A and B are shown apart, each in its own frame.
Chain A
Amino acid sequence: MVAELWPGVPAAWSRRIRVPSTAAADPAGSRHNWHLLDNGEELAARGLDPVGTLLCVHGNPTWSYLWRSLLAAGSSGQSAPWRVIAVDQLDMGFSARTRVIRRLEDRITDLGDLTGALGLSGPVVTVGHDWGGIISLGWATRHREQLAGVVLTNTAVHPAGHPLPAPLQLALHPAVHRWGTTTSDAFVRVTHALARPALAREVRAAFRAPYRGAARRAGVGNFVADIPAGESHPSWPALARVAEDIRDLEVPALLLWGPEDPVFSDRYLRDLMDRLPHADVHRFEGAGHLLPEDVDVAGPVFSWLGSRGGANPDAAADGLPRPAAVEAEAFVPMLAELDGRRQDSSPAVVDMAPRVPDGAVPGPVTLTWAELAQRVDRLAAGLSGIGVKAGDRVSLLVPPGIDLTCLAYACLRIGAVIVVADTGLGTKGLSRAIRGAGPDWLVGVERALAAARLFGWPGVRISATELGSTVRRLYGVAHTVPELEADRPPGPDAGAERLSRPTADPDADAAVLFTSGSTGPAKGVVYTHRQLAAMRDTLKQTYGLKAGTALVAGFAPFALLGPALGATSATPDMDVTAPRTLSAAALADAAAAVGATAVFASPAALANVLATAGTLQAGQRDAFAGVELLLSAGAPIPEPLLAQVQDLLPAASLHTPYGMTEALPVTDISLEQIRAAGTGNGVCVGTAVAGARVAVAALRPDGSVADEASAEPGVTGEILVSAPHVKDRYDRLWITQEHSASLPGWHRTGDVGHLDAEGRLWVEGRLGHILTTADGVRTPVAAEQLAATADGAGRAAVVGIGPAGAQVAVAVLETVPPAKSAGPAPQELAQAVRSAVLNGADLELAAVLTVKDLPTDIRHNSKIDRTELAVWAAEVLAGGKAKRP
């Protein structure tokens, strides 16, 4: 047993060193006693030769204790060894109390004095938290010859044009400052209380250990007083210099952030990203200021150190499926079709129920290709005019329809990045998504502007409509869309204007979309212009969409694609973010308006169309006669439902593509093909779409995933996709991105399934939902489909409960009619479900439970949260005394 000084800190790490000071604050010849944590001796004792040194600088009022997990990881031997030195700054932690006011410049000098005295040679990566961030960066900019990288967590290098955060203003207020920071330990306590979840008692005690007694806390107060609130502050010049000097740091940078920080909020992260544009960024949704206490930072830091210095992974060995080749085809911009039809007076977009500001009679609004092109140009010019530039993020909080289409293409035109978050994420999810993406501009309808004010979303406010001056002030609206359009009337000379139209860099960011958030917080997904164009081309090729296609878009993402496809598109009278509001009549009217040849609708929308089909007039039914293609994506559709749709759309080929926000679409299957595939282990989703490849990474018996791609039929594994239209990356989620791309060339989907001998993909569930039983790994989907066939059963979820490797399977059902209370299913139903699953999938169910509703995501109402269900089922089946005492 290693003797510990504090929880997690072996005595051998703690050391003291006397360092001559060259800081201006000290009289000449001063020497100070420093305390630090250093795993150097431990490395030597284990015979490990460090790759370099992590120099870790804490903030106020913590101390080197904050970095203990990095020290442990540095000498664990699990990754390349690093020496980790975590310092206690002077007047802080267990270092000397110097009795002088140390300013930022002094502290940067102090750190240099220390590393000089330590004789630190070889590559150094600085690590900083809170105000230790800028001090570490000050050291970094002055030791460039040995600097190998910078890591920053919840810090700031500049006020970034904003007043100090309120909590710090309070701490600095003359009436509060001395008492709050020094006389009492309020500042210390409050800071330590920011941990999420709360710190263990002994950890909290360790953090407070060096700050017992007012005399020990003088540094805490002085540190707060040294925060440069304005240009007149003595530390301002030092701050400004570091903030500027880091702009030309070329070493790798890693920014790890806890967004729930009342002081160092996302705006400081954005400022740092602006200064270090090459930085890898990960925001830990839900984590806060004391990030190293809230989440594991050591794991990501060391894997980052490895990946940034490591060799490129080898190409796939012979015989293994290779990812799709990225062909250097000529890039055709998303606006190409639009630009080619500037003189076309046929309809481009039809909005069946446009937003009506003043209670005017609603009715379809049509823009011709010429009008659409002009409006996009006007908006692009207007946006440029107010300062929106290439690379700026623009959050579009406008319902699908003509306005959204025009705004989106105007942004693409000028290279601004569209951020498309929809209300299907729920209010909380939407708020997290927008904060996470951190838009520079926010265009919204009034409801969105009100929410933006309420939740403090970032971005210069642009109202989609004219607003009265009071409301405008209330929401802090700087511009309106009508103003943007009025400012720049289109020039009469179309030819000259075309010359002035910039073309976006194909490999620059074009859009940020969001996952549905059914498994944890919604993730931002970044597409480049090239990848968006590839998505368009894949749809074109797979479904034969071409100029002359007239489509009705009852599914939000597709509403935006019409102009890029060169297809006339109509938005039906519905709330596109609530698919179940699409009626058969609304669909028919939209189809009639454009002479529809294609219909895009989500499964939930289709279900409602069928439910309301009885109200259709004969003329309305005729509008469907010309429909040749139906696409329904978002969730698998049962064959009987599709058969009913076929009755309604007799001439249409019905397709249900499989895909995800990160790759739309991946595979495709038609009704005929669904019938031909029959039943099997999972849902058959067909073969890869044009340009895409699909493989699996096999599941091992313990539920882990092999690290090579396989196309062998019948092997169940994590589904891998490779295609030119796969996302560029997850947004500000470096760890997630690294994981998703850990098999070079492939995107790991997190879904599990297998390929059959005909190359068809069968989806068997989510990786997080597999069951690890004593008989091996099992996937839920096939069993769920069988369970749902029992008399009286509705939707079903099959989950594993118990320890990994020894789990038993439990079915949780909705029933028809719905169960009044949750619990064990009636004997007869349980027997029916059990034998259906045993006979069909050879899976023995330990229990069958019924619930009123299965928990699902908001966007699709189809993705069942099996993780939550498994926890609940385990509690119910543990009996009355489920929890250990």
Chain B
Amino acid sequence: MSLQVLVTGASGLLGGAVARLLADKGHRVRTFQRRHTAGGPGLEVLSGTVTDPAAVRAAVEGADAVIHLAAKVSFTGGWDEFAAVNIGGTRNLLDAARAAGARDFVFVSSPSVAHFGHALAGEGAGRADPQRARGNYARSKAAAELIALAADAPSFRVAAVRPHVVWGPGDTQLVERVVKRAAAGRLPLLDHGAALIDTTYIDNAAAAIVRALERMDQARGQALVVTNGQPRPVGELLAGICTAAGVRPPSWSVPGWLARGAGSVVEKAWLVAGARGWVRDEPPMTRFLAEQLSTAHWFDQRQTRQVLDWVPEVGLDEGLKRLAAYYGGGPAR
């Protein structure tokens, strides 16, 4: 059955992939994002911000379902900004979608909403906790996820999907940064890169989100972590990405505690500097990032796969191959 689906945040890697996949499946897709992006077959493009209730109301007009990806994603930044976009924006969208008679709402979240700094080894999704989540991004997403799931009802079904570390060709969040830093010789391994981390290849993340929409009867009211189900030592992952992009993989190691400590300092300095307009880029190391790179994050995928009746299609090795192709040819040695 063809649905009218609104996808927010479609200018990002994942939002774009979700919109295209929906269109490929024959749905009528409207995208909504701050930056103007190119449309495509079956894509209707709207520009605007989720903090603007009127723009949001216009966007949900006639939608059967909403997939909400728009968020302020950053390692640093002030709380008010995060709260306005991630919490306020989600609220606006929920209210507008319900009022417009949409049936389904998929909230795209992050495993960091239930990560409190320690290692996660094979755990389930866990409940989002805005008090204990680390950093403004995770805290605001946690609060938003709780609000979204609380809105779940038989006539307005809500599910949360939490893809973990999404990467792929064209990814500016992880791949580009890793590659840039490695090329500049500025990418250390923390604790020899031993921490086991599960990631999600872009196509799999998009497929799981779309699958959630198809399985709302089973998925509603739940938060589902989505990964490739292929945890690897972070050092190996970074090396794989670097090799695919043709740059030399990192070979020097820094103790995790040192990086976490240094990250805290840098983070604070960057905030001050950012407020005064001295820097515009993301800081080279934050405490959050240090924790991400030095503690295990991998998940029990049984519940997710059962609820979605789905398994990832693109394996890690195949994903790296596609990444290498994107960077122009085979893996450089």
Contact = CB atoms under 8 A, between A and B. Distances in A.
Contact of B296 (A807, A824, A878, A885): A878
A824 B193 contact: yes
B191 A880 contact: yes
Interface string A832-846: 000000000000101
Contacts of A846: 196, 230-232, 298
Given A824-B236, A827-B249, A885-B118, A844 B193 contact: no
A301 interface: no
Nearest to A844: B230
Contact of A774 (B256, B291, B301): B301
Nearest to B196: A877
Contacts of A227: none
Interface string B186-201: 0000111111100000
A849 to B, nearest CB: 8
Interface residues of B, number: 36
Interface in B48-71: none
Contacts of B121: 801-803, 874, 877-878
Interface in A865-885: 874, 876-885
A880 B255 contact: yes
B239 interface: yes
Contact of A885 (B117, B232, B249, B291): B117
A98 to B, nearest CB: 55
Given A802-B298, A803-B300, A881-B256, A824 B123 contact: no
A878 B295 contact: yes
Contact of B119 (A806, A807, A879): A879
B283 interface: no
A201 to B, nearest CB: 25
Contacts of B231: 808, 846-847
Interface in B120-135: 121-123
B229 interface: yes
A419 interface: no
A875 to B, nearest CB: 9
A805 B300 CA distance: 9
Question: Which DSSP category, helix, strand, loop or mixed, fits chain A's interface?
Answer: mixed
Contacts of B276: none
B112 interface: no
Contacts of A882: 119, 295-296
B153 to A, nearest CB: 31
Give the most central of A823, A878, A879: most B CB within 10 Å. A879
B117 to A, nearest CB: 7
B236 A877 contact: no
A844 B249 CA distance: 23
A830 interface: yes
Given A774-B229, A808-B231, A881-B118, A823 B194 contact: yes
Given A824-B235, A846-B230, A881-B294, A774 B300 contact: yes
A66 B38 CA distance: 75
B122 A807 contact: yes
Give the most central of B118, B230, B233, B300: most A CB within 10 Å. B233
B257 interface: yes
B302 interface: yes
A316 to B, nearest CB: 35
A774 B302 contact: yes
A877 B233 contact: yes
A549 B126 CA distance: 68
27 contacts: A774-B300, A774-B302, A774-B305, A802-B122, A803-B121, A806-B122, A808-B196, A830-B236, A846-B232, A846-B298, A847-B231, A847-B233, A849-B194, A878-B195, A878-B196, A878-B295, A878-B296, A879-B234, A879-B256, A880-B190, A880-B195, A880-B260, A881-B118, A881-B119, A882-B295, A884-B118, A885-B117
Given A806-B300, A808-B298, A847-B233, 8 more contacts: A774-B229, A806-B301, A846-B196, A847-B194, A877-B233, A879-B191, A879-B295, A885-B118
Interface of A: 774, 801-803, 805-808, 823-824, 827, 830, 844, 846-847, 849, 874, 876-885
Interface of B: 117-119, 121-123, 190-196, 229-236, 239, 249, 255-257, 260, 291, 294-296, 298, 300-302, 305
Closest CB pairs A-B (n = 8): A880-B256, A879-B195, A802-B122, A806-B300, A878-B119, A879-B295, A877-B196, A880-B294
